Structure 1
Amino acid sequence: MYEEFYGFSERPFQLTPDPAFYFESVTHKKALSYLGYGLNQGEGFIVITGEVGSGKSTLVAHLKQKLDDERLTVGEVVTSALDGEEMIHVAARSFGLDVTGGDKAADLAAIELFLHEEARNGRRTLLIVDEAQNLSIGALEELRMLSNFQLGSHPLLQTLLLGQPEFKQLLAHSDELEQLRQRVIAAHHLEPMQPGEIEPYVMHRLNHVGWNGNPEIDSGIWVKLHKATGGIPRKINQVMTRLLLLGAVEEQAVLETDMLEAVIEEMSGDAAPVEDATSKVRPDREGPAADAIARAKDEARQADIAPATQTPTGAATQTAAQSASEVEARDKGLLDHQIEAIEAAFAERDKHLMAMRSEIDRLGKQRATGNLPEDIGARLAAIESRLDEQESSLRNVLGMMIDYFESQGSREAA
């Protein structure tokens, strides 16, 4: 949806790893250096770890594009919880071997024969194992045993292990993995991107899909985006997707910081317990105050004190005082709701006016350069229509304010 509104060739922030969108941050550049060194050694294990969404899969997809298919055969395993025997079978299948019997000895023999054939044909073999933190100790030990296959003095198999931080800890501290640990020739942990890398990352992905300046992006967004995502690429993609969707729904030509804050708040609420609908009145973004005031009135009616039950004579005065206090608190709460709704309405109005002024300024600059767009008439008509909507909304708000104050019959409320 938003890619059509902004004229993108495809979605710039899709979550599926795509090497075409690879961005070389400082930490990814280091990872590629370690990978290059390790692959040149042609033996042992290379280990890349990082948080969920840190870009491990995209890094490997980018690496595979750089590899020479004529000289290197690659098998890939994305694991669940595998034991040793299952690991051997899945590794054999990753190289396209026909191993259907479930016989570990037969699977090992097939793998060894395959590795020898590849070596005789002048090809090296790399096994990439993703989600390595899910592997059992037995499965990791079987991978170590596979690294023992040799042709003369030349190793036949090299393995790249990708995992989350817990795999890094397991590998560093498990006594049972000492032999595997000794065969790790290169390792790198992917760190989150730095604050100064957020803007280049976002613009890199936008430029890849044909971004031409629409939408404009408020410069204040980058610091808030880093703070909200911790510099994790997948989280950045999630937030930017929501932000672009919001911009398209509201037909905004500028992505502003308040829009980002709204998206972050909404995403935070997705994982939070559902809040009582009466605990906070939230005005809609279009014509907000009218709906908020109407809801506040409904809440007040629902909060009316039920008829008092019979009480002992001595407690009648106290009960009446409590009822009066509750009524006063209810009225005060309603007034607070009204004030909040009115403030939100004016803030919303100001935001829309600022957006329209920005649009008019852009048109003015285009006119000065003699480069007016073909749809100038339609855009001016849209601005005029939005001004009329804001004026109508404001009149409605003021009318409901008057109606509310008159219904209270109190000069103090006014």
Structure 2
Amino acid sequence: MYENYYGFTEKPFQLSPDPRFFFASDHHQRALSYLQYGLDQGEGFIVITGPIGTGKTTIARNLLSQLGDESIVAAQLVTTKLDPQELLALVVSEFNIQSKGDSKADLLQAIEQFLIQLNKQGKRALLIVDEAQNLPSETVEELRMLSNFQLENKPLIQSFLLGQEELKPIIQAPNMEQFRQRIIASAHLKPLSVAEVKEYIIHRIHQAGCEKDELFSENAFELIHEKTLGVPRKINIFVDRLLLFGFLEELDVINSETIMTVAEEMEIELTGSLNSSELTSQEPNQKTSQQVVVNSTENVEHIKEVLRDVEEILESSIKQKVKMARYVDKLLKHKSKLYAEEQIDK
């Protein structure tokens, strides 16, 4: 939508992880260094934790994109709540291993034969487990058991665990002592600072082919940090919306006024909401619902408040439709201009 207007060759703030847009903040670079160190060691577990949206998956994708070592055969799992046997079945599937059956014994035997065959070829397996906080402790323990596959005291498979903060108590549980002893390095990702938010945004717009460092006013970055708390995924959502708004309004610079306007719009929308407060339950309390008086002053005021909220939402929706209509009109004019130029060239 806004790419041509601002001179981008591609969308700079897409949500899907892309190694080309990897930004090495201090914490992210340290985590990546730990992963690379773990690869060099060829054994043990590396654990990377961090809040939602801080870039754990992007780090994994960046690591895989940099793997120039053909001796490493890598697979990445994005887990749900798997039991140990389901985990083994997923490992078999991701490594394209042929198994004689679906029993746990069959799966383990197939994995072991696959790892031994890799070893004979001078290769080893790397398993990256994303969203590892979803795994029950017994499934994490199954990963430790896989690390017991060895030949001549050398592990045949190595695992990296990437997960949200909920992964920490799982690993720190008393029954996980043997697993903890296999961890050779760990890192915890943090949100970006104000300075890093500025570097992050400029890095991504440059990576997308735009060299306009003045696209954002100087005070914009601190305000963007305030609205997104420095979380990369929230920054992507918010800045993408800022650029769309700037395109629709034909703005050359994204300033504080623009940021506040877009932030207010997003506070009452479902997509890309920046409001981190928890939603209160909409279910009526059984005790109080029996005592509601329809014509009570309190209830009337509540209804008025609800109607005001609905009015705000409808007004915002109308504004969005008007903006989208303007965008379509602008897009059609742009297409017509290109078509006319093509006809002149012919």
TM-score (norm 1): 0.65
* Cα drift, residue 7 of structure 1: 2.5
Does 2:57 correspond to 1:57?
A: yes
- Specify whether residues 221 and 104 from structure 1 end up closer, same or farther in structure 2 by C-alpha distance, changes over 3 A only: same
Q: Residue 205 of structure 1 corresponds to which residue in structure 2?
A: 204
Q: Residue 254 of structure 2 corresponds to which residue in structure 1?
A: 255
Q: Residue 101 of structure 1 corresponds to which residue in structure 2?
A: 101
Amino acid at match of 1:50: G
Matches within 5 A, 1:324-363: none
- Specify whether residues 54 and 100 from structure 1 end up closer, same or farther in structure 2 by C-alpha distance, changes over 3 A only: farther
Farther-moved stretch of structure 1 (260-269 vs 226-235) = 260-269
Q: Residue 238 of structure 1 corresponds to which residue in structure 2?
A: 237
Amino acid at match of 1:24: A
* Cα drift, residue 280 of structure 1: 11
Alpha carbons 1:215, 1:252 under 8 Å: kept: no
Alpha carbons 1:6, 1:214 under 8 Å: kept: no
Q: Residue 140 of structure 1 corresponds to which residue in structure 2?
A: 140
Q: Residue 299 of structure 2 corresponds to which residue in structure 1?
A: none
The superposition leaves residues 186-212 of structure 1 with CA deviations (integer Å, 9 ceiling, x where unpaired) of: 100111111111111101110111113
Partners in 1 of 2:145 and 2:130 — Cα distance?
Answer: 18
Q: Residue 33 of structure 1 corresponds to which residue in structure 2?
A: 33
Partners in 2 of 1:131 and 1:81 — Cα distance?
Answer: 10
* Cα drift, residue 169 of structure 1: 2.5
Partners in 2 of 1:43 and 1:285 — Cα distance?
Answer: 58
Amino acid at match of 1:34: Y
* Cα drift, residue 255 of structure 1: 0.9
Partners in 1 of 2:239 and 2:63 — Cα distance?
Answer: 26
* Cα drift, residue 100 of structure 1: 7.2
Q: Residue 72 of structure 1 corresponds to which residue in structure 2?
A: 72
The superposition leaves residues 14-34 of structure 1 with CA deviations (integer Å, 9 ceiling, x where unpaired) of: 000000101111111111121
Partners in 2 of 1:60 and 1:41 — Cα distance?
Answer: 17
Amino acid at match of 2:241: R
* Cα drift, residue 163 of structure 1: 0.3
Partners in 1 of 2:30 and 2:43 — Cα distance?
Answer: 20
Does 2:252 correspond to 1:270?
A: no
Q: Residue 12 of structure 2 corresponds to which residue in structure 1?
A: 12
Q: Residue 329 of structure 2 corresponds to which residue in structure 1?
A: none
Tell me the SS of whatever aligns to 1:225: helix
Alpha carbons 1:225, 1:236 under 8 Å: kept: yes
Partners in 2 of 1:84 and 1:184 — Cα distance?
Answer: 20
TM-align CA RMSD: 2.4
- Specify whether residues 148 and 208 from structure 1 end up closer, same or farther in structure 2 by C-alpha distance, changes over 3 A only: same
* Cα drift, residue 95 of structure 1: 0.8
Alpha carbons 1:72, 1:125 under 8 Å: kept: yes
Q: Residue 124 of structure 1 corresponds to which residue in structure 2?
A: 124
Does 2:222 correspond to 1:217?
A: no
The superposition leaves residues 213-253 of structure 1 with CA deviations (integer Å, 9 ceiling, x where unpaired) of: 28721111111111111111000001101100100111111
Q: Which runs of 5+ in 2 are unaligned?
A: 280-305, 320-346
Amino acid at match of 1:220: N
Alpha carbons 2:53, 2:231 under 8 Å: kept: yes
Amino acid at match of 1:101: G
Tell me the SS of whatever aligns to 1:185: strand
Amino acid at match of 1:276: D
Q: Percent identity?
A: 45
Amino acid at match of 2:119: A
The superposition leaves residues 165-190 of structure 1 with CA deviations (integer Å, 9 ceiling, x where unpaired) of: 01022212x12212111111110011
- Specify whether residues 285 and 78 from structure 1 end up closer, same or farther in structure 2 by C-alpha distance, changes over 3 A only: closer
Matches within 5 A, 1:289-308: none
Q: How many residues align?
A: 285
* Cα drift, residue 90 of structure 1: 0.7
- Specify whether residues 20 and 279 from structure 1 end up closer, same or farther in structure 2 by C-alpha distance, changes over 3 A only: closer
Q: Residue 92 of structure 1 corresponds to which residue in structure 2?
A: 92
Partners in 2 of 1:8 and 1:15 — Cα distance?
Answer: 16
Alpha carbons 1:44, 1:184 under 8 Å: kept: yes
Q: Residue 82 of structure 2 corresponds to which residue in structure 1?
A: 82
Partners in 2 of 1:227 and 1:49 — Cα distance?
Answer: 23
Q: Which runs of 5+ in 1 are unaligned?
A: 287-414
* Cα drift, residue 68 of structure 1: 2.4
Partners in 1 of 2:316 and 2:153 — Cα distance?
Answer: 73
Tell me the SS of whatever aligns to 1:46: strand
The superposition leaves residues 33-78 of structure 1 with CA deviations (integer Å, 9 ceiling, x where unpaired) of: 2112222211111101111110011111111122124111102111
* Cα drift, residue 101 of structure 1: 3.3
Return the index of the structure with the highest Cα Rg: 1
Q: Which has the higher contact order (CA 8 A, sep 6+)?
A: 2
Amino acid at match of 2:232: P
Alpha carbons 1:192, 1:230 under 8 Å: kept: yes
Partners in 2 of 1:223 and 1:117 — Cα distance?
Answer: 54
